Amino acid sequence: MATYVLVPGGWHGGWAFDAVARRLEDAGHEVVALTLSGLDGGPAAGVNLDRHIADVVAAIETATGPVVLAAHSYGGMVIAGAADRAPSRVAALVFVDAYVPDDGDSVWSLTIPRYHDFFIAGAAADGLTCAPPPHLDARCRPHPLATFVQAIRLTGAWRRVGTKIHVAATGWEGNPFVELNERLRADPAWRTHHIDCAHDVPRLAPAALADILLDAAPLRQGDHDADT
């Protein structure tokens, strides 16, 4: 049995993975679907990327068995940082239409101009949080702006995780993650997948995503130990 730690994208909470989590639990796995600090009803002041990484590290440290870290969109920054801090506890990393950063990157440095516009417009009210774009689910919450602009600090230890997977959603025009997916496809350290849907993969294609996640789980504890 693996423990899946699921990290949502910007503005979202753990509820975004509800349908995926049910499938993983039905297969006998433990699931922790996180709602990150500042998006959980608590104060957003002072919440930055480091704080979100710490949220995930805490979940890893309390997990039983091998951990599969999976994240959507912005959450790719977070799981890369968490795995960099605790690589021996992570059996697999799954980036779902998500950023895959190098040391010094931020969401701001990696994203496309259209999202720069979203961030600036969304932060107009208080300069601290970014309001969700109007087309998103009503449960979405303002996102701490510092998490989008803080540069990540990585030692490279996260690359030692044995299984690294990137999933690109091919059903939306201008998806910047498709090009990233193509680059990673040429790297033997990565496995890549395409899902034909728009960006919100966990909610639009939960069955297809759950199948990919289940395939990422080590078959037994020994498989995880061999990778680390």
Catalytic residues: 73
Beta-strand relationship, 90-96 and 67-72: parallel
The arrangement of strands across the sheet holding 3-7 comes to 30-33, 3-7, 67-72, 90-96, 163-169, 190-195
Pairwise CA distance, residues 91 & 220, whole Å: 11
DSSP state of 101: P
Q: At what angle do helices 75-85 and 49-62 cross, to 10 degrees?
A: 60
Q: What are the φ and ψ backbone dihedral angles of 224, each rounded to 5 degrees? A: -65, -45
Question: Which one-letter amino acid corresponds to residue 132?
Answer: P
Contacts of 83 (CB under 8 A, 6+ apart): 69, 90, 93, 157, 158, 161
Pairwise CA distance, residues 20 & 141, whole Å: 21
Pairwise CA distance, residues 156 & 164, whole Å: 14
Per this entry, what is the length of the chain? 228
Pairwise CA distance, residues 95 & 178, whole Å: 12
Query: Do residues 151 and 80 make contact, with C-beta atoms less than 8 angstroms apart?
Result: no
